[in-house]
Structure 1
Amino acid sequence: MLNINQQYYDENAQDFYDATIALNMQSLYRQFLPLIPAGGSILDAGSGAGRDSKAFLDLGFDVEAFDASEKLALLASELTGKKVAVELFQTFESKKQFDGIWACASLLHVSLLELPAVFLSLSNMLKSEGLFYCSFKYGEGEVARNGRVFTNLNECGFASLIKGLPLRIKDQWITADLREGRENEKWLNVILQKD
C-alpha cells in the first residue's frame, strides 16, 4: 500500500502541489488551532506539499513536518523554509512532545491493519491532553483509485479503530471535499485528545 502511494506522489508531486496548495483550509483550522496554545508545537504528519505547515508557521506555531514522498517533502521544505523529513508513519520518531498533531488526509494511506499501531506511536509524541486532528474519506474498507490506495472510515469504524488507545474523541464532523468538482466526496474529520 505504501509503495504504491509513495510512487504516485513522487511521480505526481508537482501536479498534487499545484492542485492543493491554494485550497482554503480555514474551516478546518478554526476547529483545531484555537485548541493549541499560542506558539505551541504542531507535528504535521504526512505534510504533503507543506500548505498547512506554512500556514501554521505564519501564525507563529512551532512546526515539525514529515512526509513519505521525497519529492513532496522537497517541495514542502522549499515552501516553508524548514526541512521536512522523509519518513513513513510506521517509522517516524521524535523525542519532542507536541501540543498538537495535524494529519490532514494523510493517515488514509496507512492500511487498516497498521492504523492502530500508528495512532499509538503518534499519540506517544503528544503531551498529556494534547490534540490530534485527522481526516479520512468517508466510507468503509480499503479501496484503490487513480493509482493510490485509501483506507476509508466512518464513525463506527473509527471508534473501533482507536478502542484501547490513550486517545478519546473530542469532536468529529463530516465535510464535503474542498476541491472544485469533488463536493460530493465526503470526509470524516476527528479531533482526538490524549488521556
Structure 2
Amino acid sequence: MSDHETLKVYAAQSEKYASLTDEFLSSDPLLTDFIAALPLGGSALDLGCGPGTAAAVMANAGLQVHATDAVPEMIALAAKHPLVHAEIQTFDQINGTNLYDGIWANFSLLHADRDALPDILKSLHTALKPNGYFHIGMKLGTNTARDSIGRQYTYVTEEELRALLTTAGFTAIKKHTGSGKGLDGTYADWIALAAYG
C-alpha cells in the first residue's frame, strides 16, 4: 500500500479500527477455515495485519505468525499480541521463496493499485510453500475510488479476481460473499476466495 492518504487514515484511526476488527475476527468462520487448512505449528503470513487481531487468533491456535502492515501505529498494536512477529512492510516488499504454509490477505490488497496486483500476487505465490493455502478478501465492484474518510479502494469483480489468481499460479477452491459495515460506517459487498498455491 503506497497511498499516503489511506495510510494517514489508518494511522489516525488505528484504535477505532482495532475495536471494529476485534468484534468479528475473533469468531470469523473464514479465519477458522484458514487455520484448519494449515499444518499444526505451520507458518502463516498475515498481510496487512492491521491491529493484529487475526494474527493473534492464528498464534493462539499454534501457528508461527509473521504479521506485516505499512502503518506503524497498526504494527505497534499487533506487536502487543504474544507470539506474533509484527513488522512494517508494504505489499511489494514481500519476497522470498517457500516461506509460508498459508497467507491471509483479508481485505488488505483492496488498497493496492490495480496495476500492481498481478506482481504482488505473483510474489505471494512464490512466498507460499507448494500447495500452500491462500485467502484473499476484496470488495466487489469495477472501479477505483475513495470512501468518505479518504481511503483508496480497488474494487474487483469475481471474474477479475479469479483471473488474477489464476495468472499468478493459484487454484481457487472456495468462494464466500457477503456485505459488511466498514470503518467509514457504510456497507459494501465483498468476496473472499480461498486457493491453493
Q: Same fold (TM over 0.5)?
A: yes
The CA deviation at 1:178 is 6.5
The answer for the alignment partner of 1:11 in structure 2 is: 12
Aligned CA distance change for structure 1 residues 174 and 183 (closer, same or farther; 3 Å): farther
Question: Which whole-Å CA distance do the structure 1 matches of 2:82 and 2:57 have between them?
Answer: 9
The correspondence for 2:134, drawn from 132, 145, 151, is 132
Instruction: State the match for 2:61 in structure 1.
Output: 59
Letter in 2 for 1:74: A
TM-superposed CA distance for 1:163, in Å, is 4.0
Change (3 A) 1:87 1:180: closer
- 3-state SS in 2 of match to 1:101: strand
> Does the Cα contact within 8 Å between 2:173 and 2:195 map onto a contact in 1?
yes
**Match of residue 168, structure 2, among 135, 148, 165:** 165
Identity %: 24
Give the structure 2 partner of residue 68 of structure 1: 70
Q: How does 1:175-186 map to 2 (within 5 A)?
A: 175-177=178-180, 184-186=187-189
Structure 1 unaligned regions, length at least 5: none
Matched with 1:155 is 158
How many correspondences in the alignment? 194
**1:38 counterpart SS class:** coil
- RMSD over aligned Cα atoms: 2.2
SS in 1 for 2:44: strand
Counterparts of 1:169 and 1:50, CA distance in 2 = 26
1:41 to 29, 40, 43: 43
Q: Per the alignment, in what secondary structure is the counterpart of residue 115 of structure 2?
A: coil
Structure 1 residue 81, shift from structure 2 partner: 5.0
Specify every segment of 5 or more residues in structure 2 that has no aligned partner in the other structure, as ranges: none
Greater shift, 12-21 or 123-132, is seen at 12-21
TM-score normalised over the length of structure 2: 0.89
| Paired residues of 1:97 and 1:126 also in contact (CA < 8 A) | yes
Q: Specify whether residues 86 and 77 from structure 1 end up closer, same or farther in structure 2 by C-alpha distance, changes over 3 A only.
A: same
The answer on 1:98 being equivalent to 2:100 is yes
Moved more, 1-10 or 103-112: 1-10
Distance 2:100 2:78 in 1: 20
Q: Which has the higher helix share?
A: 2
